[in-house]
């Protein structure tokens, strides 16, 4: 008996264990999911690949720029044993993106212990809370650093829009599509290509990427914060030793060989630098555009890209360019434009001499030269061998922009070869460095553009958003990263002072870096309803259309075609109709995932049109800016439009005007035309000469200024009134009592499709 009891107890215990194990099998995954403590981190690489799994064999999800904020949510080992972090961050449009990055390229903030004095200083400066988070992290690392809030008193959205104007801020054409603008003049919808500025390599930056690089909160880390450090020379802080440390491994650490490159100089980047932009190459620290083939970190042997560095001439001459060296200034005094060369062949000596005479920090001058000419000094502007300009140098690429048949390099060297101020002609490397330093100090540092940020985004002074040294959206961040290399660990422990812009009405959180790619083209090339005529006539930029059909019409066939073969269209085909109002939505999804929606408002109403095989059998097309040919008209098959120059019923075309005596007439501009009013009904339109009138309806009819079809009360009867009436019948718009009275053209006390027909006849002078 005792053995049985023991056996029963064991069975109960065993069963309990099994039950618990089954529950734990369900629960344990959730326990594991929350076991990892999430940590905030920043990208510590110029460009970092984010992969779909832990290891380089996985596909690239997107790329992140230096300083980008991420959250580490897990860690896993790759097949080779290397540790990878799983990260989460905000992508384009604010959506959450996850992926994996190598452990080596993330940096975690130092722990911050509350410092009452520092907190008081931040508050006194007026930094918003969203700035304080990153500034506290910097303070924990470098407690002597001082942060000043530069209150621009500019509205954030306004500043971003100004800097996003077509041609003002550029990205390399190889950038991912979300970095490139689709604004008018920046993108060709017909060919799905971007318009090049200063050649084909640079295109207009999108507003989203401008937001990211203009938002100072994205760059408050120990490297990128240097774009906010002042450029004024301080002999007690800016030393020969510091400059030598900064330029170590670049061509500036050697001697001038009479040309722009030094003999025997080394390059820390395995690939060196290439002249990827007009007249410019990039050195270490320049942020490479996404989609240019970066490895896990582009700090490791990748060539970076740099943008045009001066005012440029776009392929679209109608757009005014207002930035870059050469922008209108009050003008420097003659004493500020000359200096004395030392005759030294050492680049470090040349730069220190230029700093002393120009008042510009030598570390800034070195960073600018490296950014412009590459760490190996392979830029064509300093080769001294450019055809037609042998023996001339332009180390800062001043006035280097494409002009007519001249390339940016040739234009810059032509300017350098001219006699004039700033030590020109620049027929030696030292004269170019000294003259360029005087130019930059006089025209930028001394007028308040005394940080790399302000050099790119001029948000101070009276010349807002103009007189900007470069067009590259990444320029300030990339030059700041080069600048940071001048400061070793001991120098970073000194009381460096940073001037950080603050705008009004900024978003609560830092603007995220856009990560989407693929064609953005999500427009239709054609849209029609088989057997019926839409109003207005199709235009790819018009998103809403109206159609009235008879109640006997139970379904319609919608045809649509996409402008780009890379996009997809949904919502077409045979669509069943309900009684009353129907909204048919046609969605066009671009390759990058962006969706554009066209809406067709269809109303089943008594005495409405029925199917006509003579119209709408194909996909009616219209280009950007096309307008309606008038209510009831279409450019589709079976419709004969007025001859060229006629515009019956189109806003701005032929109008029925209300004369002082109350009579109505049509003022006409061209010759006779024929227009189809409805399925199977053709109306002959006889037009008269400008300045004459033709009776509309009963010539003896009297009306007030807000009757007989003048629905909007503007004293005219035209297609604007017809459109307003159609929208009212579709339930898309309301009419005042006077408007309803004017719309009841047949006087039956109702406003319906019969009134539309009468109004259209009135507009046509019938």
DSSP string, 597-616: EEEEEEEE-TT-----TTSS
Please give the Cα distance from 715 to 705 (Å, whole number): 6
Segment of 417-421, 461-465, 594-598 carrying the highest mean pLDDT: 594-598
Query: Do residues 326 and 472 share a domain?
Result: yes
User: In this predicted structure, which of 579-593, 598-612, 719-733 has the lowest mean pLDDT?
Assistant: 719-733
Q: Does 162 score more than 70 pLDDT?
A: yes
Query: Do residues 461 and 397 share a domain?
Result: yes
Mean pLDDT of 125-146: 94
pLDDT band at 331 (very low <50, low <70, confident <90, very high): very low
Q: Which pLDDT score is estimated for 342?
A: 65
Q: Does 705 score more than 60 pLDDT?
A: no
- Domain assignment of residue 509, yes or no: no
**Structural domain that includes position 665:** 633-766
* Residue 716 C-beta-side C-alpha neighbours within 13 Å: 14
pLDDT band at 10 (very low <50, low <70, confident <90, very high): low
Query: Do residues 607 and 677 share a domain?
Result: no
The pTM of the full predicted model, rounded to 2 decimals, is 0.64
Query: Do residues 315 and 464 share a domain?
Result: yes
Q: Does 183 score more than 50 pLDDT?
A: yes
Domain count, the chain: 5
Q: Which pLDDT score is estimated for 403?
A: 79
Q: Which of 462, 433, 428 is nearest to 448 (CA)?
A: 462
- Domain assignment of residue 554, yes or no: yes
Q: What does the pLDDT look like over 581-602, one tens digit per residue?
A: 999 999 999 999 999 999 999 9
Q: Does 297 score more than 60 pLDDT?
A: no
Q: What does the pLDDT look like over 512-538, one tens digit per residue?
A: 889 889 999 999 999 999 999 999 999
Share of the chain above pLDDT 90, in %: 42
- Residue of 676 and 503 predicted with greater confidence: 503
Q: Which structure tokens are listed for 683?
A: 């109306």
Share of the chain above pLDDT 70, in %: 72
Query: Do residues 497 and 553 share a domain?
Result: no
- Domain assignment of residue 415, yes or no: yes
Q: Which pLDDT score is estimated for 456?
A: 94
Contact between residue 203 and residue 320 where contact means Cβ atoms under 8 Å apart: no
Q: Does 304 score more than 60 pLDDT?
A: no
Among residues 626, 644, 668, the one where a domain terminates is 626
Query: Do residues 299 and 174 share a domain?
Result: yes
DSSP notation for 115-181: -HHHHHHHHHHT--HHHHHHHHHHHHH-TT-EEEEEEEEEEHHHHHHHHTSTTTSEEETTS-GGGB-
* Residue 590 C-beta-side C-alpha neighbours within 13 Å: 19
Please give the Cα distance from 247 to 257 (Å, whole number): 17
Mean pLDDT of 243-250: 88
Q: Does 9 score more than 80 pLDDT?
A: no
Task: Report strand pairing: 170-172 vs 202-204.
Answer: antiparallel
What are the distances in angstroms from CA 464 to CA 161, 213, 309, 448? 12, 17, 18, 11
Contact between residue 99 and residue 87 where contact means Cβ atoms under 8 Å apart: yes
Q: What is the mean pLDDT of the chain?
A: 76
Length of the chain: 766
Q: Which of 307, 310, 311, 288 is nearest to 299 (CA)?
A: 288
Please give the Cα distance from 202 to 173 (Å, whole number): 5
Q: Does 486 score more than 70 pLDDT?
A: yes
Q: Which pLDDT score is estimated for 620?
A: 59
Using CA atoms in the order 452, 416, 325, 204, what is the torsion angle rounded to 10 degrees?
A: -90
Q: Which CATH number fits the domain that encloses residue 756?
A: 1.10.1330.10
- Residue of 46 and 427 predicted with greater confidence: 427
- Domain assignment of residue 122, yes or no: no
Q: Which CATH number fits the domain that encloses residue 70?
A: 2.30.30.40
Q: Which pLDDT score is estimated for 666?
A: 33
- Domain assignment of residue 32, yes or no: no
Q: What does the pLDDT look like over 64-111, one tens digit per residue?
A: 887 788 999 998 988 888 889 999 988 766 678 899 999 888 988 777
Please give the Cα distance from 133 to 117 (Å, whole number): 16
Query: Do residues 320 and 243 share a domain?
Result: yes
Query: Do residues 563 and 657 share a domain?
Result: no
pLDDT band at 173 (very low <50, low <70, confident <90, very high): very high
User: In this predicted structure, which of 121-135, 211-225, 226-240, 673-687 has the lowest mean pLDDT?
Assistant: 673-687
Query: Do residues 609 and 720 share a domain?
Result: no
Query: Do residues 595 and 639 share a domain?
Result: no
81: left (phi over 0), alpha (psi -120 to 50) or beta: left
Query: Do residues 191 and 340 share a domain?
Result: yes
Contact between residue 456 and residue 469 where contact means Cβ atoms under 8 Å apart: yes
- Domain assignment of residue 513, yes or no: no
- Domain assignment of residue 272, yes or no: yes
Q: Does 259 score more than 90 pLDDT?
A: no
Contact between residue 262 and residue 377 where contact means Cβ atoms under 8 Å apart: yes
The answer to whether the Cα torsion of 342, 347, 352, 356 is positive or negative is positive
What are the distances in angstroms from CA 184 to CA 167, 204, 319, 567? 11, 11, 11, 20
Please give the Cα distance from 540 to 558 (Å, whole number): 15
What are the distances in angstroms from CA 415 to CA 280, 400, 403, 504? 16, 8, 12, 40
- The DSSP call for residue 335 is G
- Residue 247, burial from CB neighbour count under 10 angstroms (0-12, 13-18, 19+): buried
Among residues 610, 626, 642, the one where a domain terminates is 626
What are the distances in angstroms from CA 266 to CA 48, 109, 249, 488? 25, 33, 5, 20
Q: Which structure tokens are listed for 617?
A: 């059998």
Strand partners, 604: 549
Among residues 626, 641, 669, the one where a domain terminates is 626
Query: Do residues 698 and 609 share a domain?
Result: no
- Domain assignment of residue 33, yes or no: no
Q: Which pLDDT score is estimated for 281?
A: 33
Contact between residue 249 and residue 267 where contact means Cβ atoms under 8 Å apart: yes
Q: Which pLDDT score is estimated for 402?
A: 79
Using CA atoms in the order 135, 137, 142, 146, what is the torsion angle rounded to 10 degrees?
A: 10
Q: Which pLDDT score is estimated for 320?
A: 28
Q: Which structure tokens are listed for 282?
A: 């990039």
User: In this predicted structure, which of 472-486, 682-696, 701-715 has the lowest mean pLDDT?
Assistant: 682-696
pLDDT band at 316 (very low <50, low <70, confident <90, very high): very low
Q: Going along 208-250, which residue ranges are E strands?
A: none
Q: Which of 641, 648, 696, 651 is nearest to 668 (CA)?
A: 648
């Amino acid at each position: 008996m005792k053995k049985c009891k023991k056996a029963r107890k064991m069975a109960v215990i065993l069963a309990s264990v099994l039950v618990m194990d089954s529950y734990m099998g369900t629960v344990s995954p959730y326990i594991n999911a929350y076991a990892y403590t999430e940590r905030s981190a920043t990208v510590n690489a110029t460009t970092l690949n984010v992969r779909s799994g832990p290891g380089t064999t996985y596909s690239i999800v997107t790329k992140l720029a230096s300083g980008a904020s991420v959250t580490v949510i897990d860690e896993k080992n790759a097949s080779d044993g290397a540790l990878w972090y799983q990260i989460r961050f905000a992508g384009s449009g604010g959506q959450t993106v996850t992926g994996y990055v190598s452990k080596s390229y993330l940096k975690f903030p130092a722990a911050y212990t509350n410092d009452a004095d520092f907190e008081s200083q931040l508050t006194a400066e007026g930094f918003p809370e969203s700035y304080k988070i990153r500034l506290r992290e910097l303070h924990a690392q470098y407690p002597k650093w001082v942060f000043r809030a530069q209150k621009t008193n500019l509205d954030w959205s306004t500043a971003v829009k100004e800097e996003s104007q077509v041609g003002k801020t550029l990205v390399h054409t190889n950038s991912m599509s979300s970095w490139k603008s689709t604004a008018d003049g920046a993108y060709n919808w017909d060919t799905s290509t971007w318009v090049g500025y200063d050649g084909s390599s640079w295109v207009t930056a999108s507003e989203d990427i401008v937001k990211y690089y203009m938002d100072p909160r994205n760059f408050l880390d120990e490297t990128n914060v240097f774009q906010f450090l002042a450029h004024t020379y301080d002999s007690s802080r800016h030393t020969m030793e510091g400059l030598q440390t900064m330029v170590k491994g670049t061509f500036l650490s050697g001697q001038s060989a009479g040309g722009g490159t030094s003999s025997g100089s080394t390059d820390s980047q395995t690939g060196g630098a290439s002249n990827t932009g007009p007249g410019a190459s990039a050195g270490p620290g320049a942020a490479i555009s996404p989609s240019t083939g970066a490895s896990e970190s582009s700090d490791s042997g990748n060539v970076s890209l740099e943008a045009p560095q001066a005012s440029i001439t776009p392929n679209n001459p109608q757009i005014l360019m207002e930035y870059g060296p050469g922008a209108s200034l009050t003008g420097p005094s003659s004493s500020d434009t000359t200096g004395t060369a030392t005759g030294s062949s050492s680049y470090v000596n040349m730069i220190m001499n230029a700093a002393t005479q120009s008042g510009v920090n030598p570390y800034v001058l070195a960073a600018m030269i490296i950014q412009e000419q590459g760490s190996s000094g392979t830029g064509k502007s300093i080769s001294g061998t450019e055809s037609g300009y042998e023996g001339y140098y332009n180390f800062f690429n001043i006035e280097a922009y494409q002009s007519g048949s001249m390339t940016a390099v040739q234009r810059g060297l032509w300017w350098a070869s001219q006699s004039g101020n700033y030590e020109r002609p620049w027929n030696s490397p030292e004269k170019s460095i000294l003259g360029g330093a005087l130019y930059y100090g006089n025209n930028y540092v001394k007028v308040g553009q005394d940080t790399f940020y302000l050099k790119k985004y001029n948000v101070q002074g009276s010349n807002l958003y103009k007189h900007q040294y470069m067009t590259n959206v990444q320029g300030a961040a990339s030059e700041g990263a080069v600048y940071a290399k001048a400061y070793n660990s001991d120098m970073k422990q000194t009381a460096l002072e940073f001037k950080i812009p603050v705008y009004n009405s900024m978003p609560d959180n830092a603007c995220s870096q856009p990560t989407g790619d693929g064609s953005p083209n999500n427009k239709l090339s054609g849209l029609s309803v088989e057997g019926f005529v839409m109003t207005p006539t199709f235009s790819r930029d018009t998103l809403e259309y109206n159609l009235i059909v008879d109640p006997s019409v139970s379904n319609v066939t919608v045809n649509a075609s996409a402008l780009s073969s890379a996009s997809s269209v949904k919502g077409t085909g045979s669509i069943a109709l309900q009684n009353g109002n129907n909204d048919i939505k046609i969605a066009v999804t671009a390759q990058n995932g962006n969706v554009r929606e066209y809406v067709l408002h269809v109303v089943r109403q008594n005495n409405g049109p029925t199917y006509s095989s003579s119209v709408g059998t194909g996909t009616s097309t219209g280009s950007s800016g096309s307008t309606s040919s008038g209510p009831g008209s279409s450019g589709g098959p079976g419709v004969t439009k007025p001859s060229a120059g006629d515009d019956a019923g189109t806003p701005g075309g032929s109008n029925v005007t209300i004369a002082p005596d109350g009579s109505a007439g049509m003022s006409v501009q061209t010759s006779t035309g024929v227009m189809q009013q409805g399925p199977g009904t053709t109306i002959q339109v006889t037009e008269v000469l400008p300045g004459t009138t033709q009776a509309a309806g009963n010539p003896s009819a009297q009306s007030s200024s807000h009757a007989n079809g003048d629905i909007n009360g503007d004293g005219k009867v035209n297609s604007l009134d017809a459109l307003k009436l159609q929208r009212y019948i579709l339930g898309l718009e309301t009419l005042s009592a006077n408007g309803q009275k004017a719309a009841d053209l047949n006087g039956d006390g109702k406003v319906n499709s019969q009134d539309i027909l009468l109004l259209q006849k009135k507009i046509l002078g019938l």
